[in-house]
Structure 1
Amino acid sequence: MNAEFMQAFEQLGKEKGIAPEVLFEAIEAALISAYKRNFSSAQNVRVSLERTTGEIHVYARKAVVEAVTDSRLEIDLTEARLLDIRYDLEDIVEVEVTPKNFGRIAAQTAKQVVVQRIREAERGIIYDEFSNRESDILTGIVQRIEQKNVFIDLGKAEAILAPSEQIAGEVYKHGDRLKTYIIEVKKTTKGPQILVSRTHPGLLKRLFELEVPEIHDGIVEIKSVAREPGLRSKFAVYSRDENVDPVGACVGHKGMRVQSIVNELKGEKVDIVKWNTDPAKYIANALSPAKVVSVEINEVEKISRVVVPDYQLSLAIGKEGQNARLAAKLTGWKIDIKSESQVGS
């Protein structure tokens, strides 16, 4: 290998964020394997790669002994002292054994090592980039579907949307543009494995943060999210500025802000409710769109008893108990709902 070759390696290493010395040491280690493989050698060898000229030297390392049992690994004291009078027993003698045609093998090996190290470095960079984006939204394109796993092309990497993280009834086709939520980034030998979700409550939270400037600016705060993916969600918000209506900010002019999120979630209904420090008021808000007559709370057991008008009972409970279930999840309170006639009887 000539000097230009070495400079190219060094430059490439710097560009890819690999210390040149790390690269050269890796090449030397690979050259030892290449030497043993190509020259059927069981010797202990050391390879020296000259950093500036690219010259390569292979040295057989032999232990100095009184009686040689394996000439590939040992040298007797008399022979060693012919090389240098200072050698003594148990010293290591290095004898150059560089083959004449080793340059071609060395160049090929060096190239393979550099390519491998660059690939590893690039994988490391991609891993760092995506691991720093855990709990964030990614937009990608559906590449393929294998055994119900959806593989999403992110440009530099590929994400996996597992069946358990897919919205029931949602159909994914090749070429679809999809927003997903990063739940975990794992390191593997083939590069980073990015696991994403369409069902995680964090997806809804991040969609609102991106869509509503007041949330992004910290004026409106998201207090809680409860979600039944693909069906319905409840979203509790609070305003730090009394002049800003948190629900109105999230709904947007003519409902445009919330509608764009509903569209992204393929029709999942979203109830936006106002958070309140008073649990009774918060629970009443959480049962929206139902109207509430009264709320009694038991602080010790964290149970609330809610009374609603007779005609609002089915709305308050919701289809298959969905509205009450989401309200309980949102507030963290058990909710027992009764109609006025049930209470009066």
Structure 2
Amino acid sequence: MNAEFIEALGQLEKEKGISKDILIDAIEAALISGYKRNFHSAQNVRVDINRETGRVRVFARKSVVEEALDPRLEISLEAAKEINPNYSLEDVVEIEVTPADFGRIAAQTAKQVVTQRIREAERNIIYSNFIDREEDIVTGIVQRTDNRNYFIDLGRVEALLPHSETMPGERFKHGDRVKTFITKVEKSTKGPQIFVSRTHPGLLKRLFELEVPEIFDGVIEIKSIAREAGQRSKVAVTSRDTNVDAVGACVGHKGVRVQTIVNELRGEKIDIIRYSEDLTEWIASSLSPSKVTSVTIYEEEKMARVVVPDHQLSLAIGKEGQNARLAAKLTNWKIDIKSESEAGVDFVPAHSEDEVE
């Protein structure tokens, strides 16, 4: 190694943020192992790299004793004093033992250590960047797929999109651009692993933040989301500004904002619900687009009995109970739906057939 190598380490420090001193310490430690391996030495040794010139020297470290029983590890007091009269018992004497061709080994080892440390530093940088982006939306390009995952190129790293986290019927091919939601970032021996999803409710929330400036700015707040990915979702919103209509802002002029999100989610239907602090009004709104005649609250059971016009019953319940199910998830209340003609029947919450968990 030479002064140019030391200068190169200094440049790395500026560009990659890897401390030159830490790199040199790591090279010295690796060279100790390299010396013992290549020269079959059982001595205690220290490797020193000059921080200015890059010169590498190897020193054998020997303890000063009365009589040396193991010359690889010990030196007699008499021999030590021949080197320096100031040595005394239990001191450590360092004797240079640098092999003639050690420079070649040092150069190879240094290259390996620096390459490894650069790789580790880059992995740590990527991990640090993405751990702060958990629960955020990212756009990537599909690179390949196997039986379990799509591999999404995010630039400096690949993300894993499990097939189970894609919407029903959704298929991607190489080169497709896709928006996903980061659910988890983990460290591994191969670098950071990033897991993403297309079905997570967080994706819907982030898409609304991208398309509706009032949500991004905090004027409109998303209170809750209930989603059955690829089929239908309900999003409850409220406005902190009385002059801003929360639902209207999310729908956009001629529905352009919500339609952009629907297109991204491959036609998933989205109901935008106006949130209310009034529980009765809130539960009634959650069953949109169905009209509601009345809502009765049962606090102890955290259950609501909802009465709808007879012709609205199937709409309120939805196909295979989907509308009622999403409303229950959205409000976090159990909802029992009755038609007006059924409303006269005694209501027994614990045995309701239309109850939706």
Aligned residue for 1:93?
A: 93
Aligned residue for 1:233?
A: 233
Aligned residue for 2:142?
A: 142
- Code of the aligned partner of 2:248: G
Q: Report the alpha carbon displacement of residue 47 of structure 1 after superposing the two structures with TM.
A: 0.4
Aligned residue for 2:36?
A: 36
Q: Can you list the C-alpha shifts for 1:255-277, whole angstroms capped at 9, x where unaligned?
A: 11111111111111111010011
RMSD: 1.3
Equivalent residues in 2 for 1:1-345, closer than 5 Å: 1-344=1-344
The SS at the match of 1:304 is strand
Q: Contact conserved, 1:291 with 1:309, CA < 8 A, in 2?
A: yes
- Code of the aligned partner of 2:17: G
Q: Report the alpha carbon displacement of residue 169 of structure 1 after superposing the two structures with TM.
A: 2.1
Q: Which runs of 5+ in 1 are unaligned?
A: none
Q: Report the alpha carbon displacement of residue 326 of structure 1 after superposing the two structures with TM.
A: 0.4
Q: Report the alpha carbon displacement of residue 14 of structure 1 after superposing the two structures with TM.
A: 2.3
- Code of the aligned partner of 2:102: F
Partners of 1:253 and 1:322 in 2: CA distance:
28
- Code of the aligned partner of 1:181: F
The SS at the match of 1:237 is strand
- Code of the aligned partner of 1:220: I
Partners of 2:329 and 2:12 in 1: CA distance:
54
Partners of 1:28 and 1:112 in 2: CA distance:
12
The SS at the match of 1:107 is helix
Q: Report the alpha carbon displacement of residue 144 of structure 1 after superposing the two structures with TM.
A: 1.2
Percent pairwise identity: 69
Q: Contact conserved, 1:14 with 1:20, CA < 8 A, in 2?
A: no
- Code of the aligned partner of 1:341: S
- Code of the aligned partner of 1:51: R
Partners of 1:168 and 1:219 in 2: CA distance:
34
Partners of 2:44 and 2:165 in 1: CA distance:
53
Partners of 1:278 and 1:260 in 2: CA distance:
31
Partners of 1:241 and 1:93 in 2: CA distance:
78
Partners of 1:241 and 1:68 in 2: CA distance:
87
Q: Can you list the C-alpha shifts for 1:271-312, whole angstroms capped at 9, x where unaligned?
A: 101001111111111101111111111223221110011111
- Code of the aligned partner of 1:7: E
Aligned residue for 2:352?
A: none
The SS at the match of 2:342 is helix
Q: Can you list the C-alpha shifts for 1:298-340, whole angstroms capped at 9, x where unaligned?
A: 2232211100111111110111111001001101111100001
Q: Report the alpha carbon displacement of residue 64 of structure 1 after superposing the two structures with TM.
A: 1.9
TM-score by length of 2: 0.94
Q: Report the alpha carbon displacement of residue 122 of structure 1 after superposing the two structures with TM.
A: 1.1
Q: Can you list the C-alpha shifts for 1:2-56, whole angstroms capped at 9, x where unaligned?
A: 2122111112122110111111111111111121122111111000100001111
Q: Can you list the C-alpha shifts for 1:170-201, whole angstroms capped at 9, x where unaligned?
A: 11222111111111111122211111111111
Partners of 2:244 and 2:35 in 1: CA distance:
74
Q: Report the alpha carbon displacement of residue 82 of structure 1 after superposing the two structures with TM.
A: 1.3
The SS at the match of 2:266 is coil
- Point out the more displaced range, 293-302 or 206-215: 293-302
- Code of the aligned partner of 2:212: V
Q: Contact conserved, 1:13 with 1:118, CA < 8 A, in 2?
A: no
Partners of 1:33 and 1:60 in 2: CA distance:
13
- Point out the more displaced range, 84-93 or 104-113: 84-93
Q: Report the alpha carbon displacement of residue 218 of structure 1 after superposing the two structures with TM.
A: 1.5
The SS at the match of 1:341 is coil
Q: Which runs of 5+ in 2 are unaligned?
A: 346-357
Q: Report the alpha carbon displacement of residue 88 of structure 1 after superposing the two structures with TM.
A: 2.4
Q: Contact conserved, 1:64 with 1:74, CA < 8 A, in 2?
A: yes
Partners of 1:252 and 1:207 in 2: CA distance:
14
- Code of the aligned partner of 1:311: H
Partners of 1:23 and 1:14 in 2: CA distance:
13
- Code of the aligned partner of 2:30: A
Partners of 2:248 and 2:69 in 1: CA distance:
89
Aligned residue for 2:355?
A: none
- Code of the aligned partner of 1:279: L
Q: Report the alpha carbon displacement of residue 253 of structure 1 after superposing the two structures with TM.
A: 1.4
Partners of 2:74 and 2:237 in 1: CA distance:
78
